[in-house]
Amino acid sequence: MNEHLRPFVDWKWCAGRREGIVLADARWYLDGSSGRDEYLRGHLPGAVFIDLDRWLSGPASPEAGRNPLPDPEVFAEGMRAAGINDADTVVAYDDAGGVIAARLVWMLRSTGHKAAVLQGGMDSHPGRLTDETAPRPRGNFTARAWPAGHLADISDAASGRYVTVDARNRDRFEGKQDPIDPRPGHIPGAVNVPCRGNLDPSGQLLPELRIRTNFERAGINSADNTISYCGSGVTACHNLLMMEHLGMGRGKLFVGGWSQYGQALDRPVETSRGQVRGDSAGSSPSRAG
């Protein structure tokens, strides 16, 4: 287990190390459906469930966004409660090709822990799912501060000093619709590399050359001066891990994302129709999201 761990691994890799890894089910749904309920209906054998709302997010607010990072001790307690230790290697999965599980993996890797996303998610597992749970002994996971060098704030994202990458689907980036946030559009000057564009229809990663080409078309050859954001700092992690997987380096996460920026009505937004100042682009959100 001492070899360099890339951010994405396949089931064959996991099967050869089954005694040395912790499988983590990180299913979560923006529409409010319960990931825990889905876990209880069926999950990979031996997997523990990690609740994104409880352990991977802090309190939501207009100033911080929908899914700000939690206090490091909250995160550590969630890992301990799931039976995860400092020395464990965590392989996280979901039912969305890894775009949700990426949040847990980014949080672990950014604080120096061994973690990877399972390519293809639960569908990559060759056996049957189980509804049996076997709690692990409480872990010894240690709280560590979030590394400032891996994070960006709203001023960084809007400064123009970085290549700012929006991981949302193109229709939301262009401002054609946004049922979740109060203003449609994106941060002016941002480029769009939808994280779901890293995947084929089955949820497996596309060939690395194709993914690299998608980033290069957006003007990204290195992650060193890059900020990734999405609606609230969840799926943006997939693009960060993908760039690291491709050997492009490690970018920064703007965890507040559009759910924070869109609430800052003094800041301009950009859509496919151009740039709009302030709250003239606003509309009331249909739900909290």
Beta carbons within 8 Å of 155's beta carbon, 6+ residues apart: none
- Selecting among 14, 195, 230, 237, the annotated active-site residue is 230
Give Dmax (Cα) for the chain. 56
Backbone angles phi, psi at 93, to 5 degrees: -140, 165
230 is catalytic: yes
> For residues 183 and 270, is the Cβ–Cβ distance under 8 A?
no
CA distance 141 to 126: 30
State how far the alpha carbon of 238 is from the alpha carbons of 59, 222, 242, 259, in Å.
22, 16, 6, 18
Coil, helix or strand for 49? strand
Residue 180 CA from chain centroid, whole number: 17
Catalytic residues: 230
